[in-house]
Structure 1
Amino acid sequence: MKDFVKPFNGNPNDDIIKWLESIVHYFGIAQISGDKETLYFQYAPAFMKEYAYKWWANQKHYIFSWSIFKQAVITQFSEKNEYLIAQQFDQRKQQINEPVIKYYYDIIDLCKKYNSDMTDKQKIRKLTNGLKLSLYQEAIKETYSTSFDFLTKVQQLENIQKLIELRQNQTTQVSTIMKNDDKLSLPSHFYQSSSRQPNNYSTRPTYYSSSAQSDYSYTTQQSFPPPSNPYPSYDHYECNQNQQYPASQVPQSQQRYNQPYSVTQHKNYSSRKSDIYCYNCGQPGHIARYCQQETATSSTGQQQQKYSKNQ
C-alpha cells in the first residue's frame, strides 16, 4: 500500500485531491474484503504526517465516516487562493521534452481545481492550446469526442514525430561521417599547404619571367637616362674612380648604383656626345670651350709672342 499511497504532510504544495484519489485507487485494485468507504476511512489517517496528523488528532472526535472525513480535509488543506489556481491554469503549457501523457494529466488536475464542472469540450480546447508547436500544428487538424480520445490521438502524433526526429538524426550522422572520410582521403600535403597559406596577400612575392625582366630593364634604361654633362673629363674621372677603389672597399649601395650606370647608361651618354659639334674645328664630341685645336693654336701664339719679345 505504501507504493500507492504517499504520506500527506499538509504543506501548501501538497495536493489533497491526488492523495484522496490514491487511497481510492489502491482499494479499487486490492483484494480486501469489506465495505470500501469503511476501508478508506480506516486506513487514510495512517498516512497523515506533520501538520496533517496534528489536524487529525484535534478533529478525529468529530469525524465518523469517509464522506465527512473527505469533505473536512478538502476544506482544510485544499488551495484557497483562486487567483493562484487561475494563474496556474492559464500559464500551464507543454514543455519541449515533456511527454504528452504527463502534460495531459497535469491539465486535467488543474481543470478540476479551477472548475470541477468543466466539460470535455472545454478541457480539449485547453489541452490543444497548450501543446508545443510541433504537435499543435497536427493536433488542430483532428477532432476529438472526449478528453481521453484527445490523449490517444496526440500520443500517436508524438510517436510519429519521434520517428521523424530519429531519422533526421541518422541522416545527419551519416553526412558527418562522409565528410570526415573525405577529409581523411585527402593527401597530407594538402593540409600543410592550406595551413601555411599566408593571410596577408600583400606580402606574397611576385615572380616575373625572364622576358618580362628584360622588358622592365630596357624600359628603365630608356625612360631614366643620366643627366647630360658636356665636360669631356667625366670619362677619365669615372675610370679613375673605378681604379682607385676596389670592389671590396666600395660600399654595396654604391656598387649597385655605379655598375648599371657605367655599363648601360654611359653608352647612352656617349651616343649623346656624338651629337655635339665644335663650331671652331667642326669636330663632334666637344664644344668650342674645350676645343683642343684652339688650345694648341693659342699656345703656339703665346710662344711666338714670347719669342719675339725676347729678341
Structure 2
Amino acid sequence: LFYVSLCLEADARDWFYDNPRLCSTWSIFTQNLLKTFESSGKADISFNRLRHYEQSINQDVKKYYFDIMRLCKEANPLMDDTSKLQYLKDGLKPSLRFHVLLKNPQTTAEFLEYAQKIEELKAVDEEKDTQSSPSRHPSYSNSYYNINYHNNNSSEQHVAAITTQRQYRNSISKLSYQCYKCGANDHYIRDCPHFQERSH
C-alpha cells in the first residue's frame, strides 16, 4: 500500500495520509476510497442534473415528483423541504406551472397534491375536446350535402324545363304540319283528298 500513495493525486492522496486506519489492507482501502470519492462525485452529478431537470411533455406529475425527490436526496441527503419544493416548481412544465403557482403550495406534499389534481382536470378537458370535435364534422357534411343537393336539384329542374320547352316546340312543329280536315300528318289541307272530293 506504500506505493499506492504515489498513484493518488490531490484530495485522494491527502485522504490516504489522513486516514491510515481506513487503508490497513487493500480490500479495506479500495472500499473506503470508492465510498468516499464515488459518493462525492455522484452528489455533484445529481446536483447538476437537479439544477437543469425539467418535466418532459409526456411525463406525468407523479414520475416527475419522485425523480426530483430522488435527485435532491442524492445531491444532499440533508436538503430541507423548502429547497426541494423550489426545485419542483422550477422544473414543472409550463402547462401546469402557472396553475400550481396560483395554489401556492407550502410543502412538497401539497405540491404533489395540487399538481396531480390540475393534471387530472386538464386530461378530462382534453378528452371532452377530443369527443366533441368529430360531432362538428357531420353538421358540416350535412350542410355541404344540402348545398350540393339544392344545386343538383336546381340543375335537374333547369334541364327538365329545357326538355319540356323542346318537346313543346316539336309538338307545335308537328301540329303545324297537319291536315285540319282529316287530321293526317302527311299533307296539308289543300292536298287533302277529302277536301278535293268535296270541292268537285
Q: How many residues align?
A: 125
Counterpart position of 1:109? 70
Deviation, 1:141, is 1.3
Aligned counterparts, 1:162-181, within 5 A:
162-181=123-142
Deviations 1:17-72 (A, max 9, x none): xxxxxxxxxxxxxxxxxxxxxxxxxxxxxxxxxxxxxxxxx95xx6xxxxxx9x88
User: Which sections of structure 2, spanning at least 5 residues, go unmatched?
Assistant: 1-25, 153-200
Aligned counterparts, 1:271-282, within 5 A:
none
Aligned counterparts, 1:109-188, within 5 A:
109-187=70-148
The separation in 2 between residues aligned to 1:121 and 1:76, in whole angstroms, is: 28
SS in 1 for 2:54: coil
Counterpart position of 2:58? 97
The separation in 1 between residues aligned to 2:35 and 2:125, in whole angstroms, is: 45
From the superposition, tell whether residues 177 and 123 of structure 1 become closer, same or farther in structure 2 (CA, over 3 Å).
Answer: farther
Counterpart position of 2:163? none
Structure with greater helix share of residues? 2
Counterpart position of 1:84? 45
**Moved beyond 4 Å, runs of 4+:** 71-79, 188-191
Greater relative contact order, per chain length (Cα 8 Å cut-off, separation 6+): 2
Moved more, 75-84 or 100-109: 75-84
Larger radius of gyration: 1
TM-score normalised per structure 2: 0.52
Paired AA for residue 114 in structure 2: K
Deviation, 1:178, is 2.2
Counterpart position of 2:188? none
The separation in 2 between residues aligned to 1:107 and 1:178, in whole angstroms, is: 48
User: Which sections of structure 1, spanning at least 5 residues, go unmatched?
Assistant: 1-57, 63-68, 192-311
Paired AA for residue 151 in structure 1: L
SS in 2 for 1:153: helix
Deviation, 1:184, is 3.2
Q: Is the contact between residue 96 and residue 119 of structure 2 (CA under 8 Å) also seen in structure 1?
A: yes
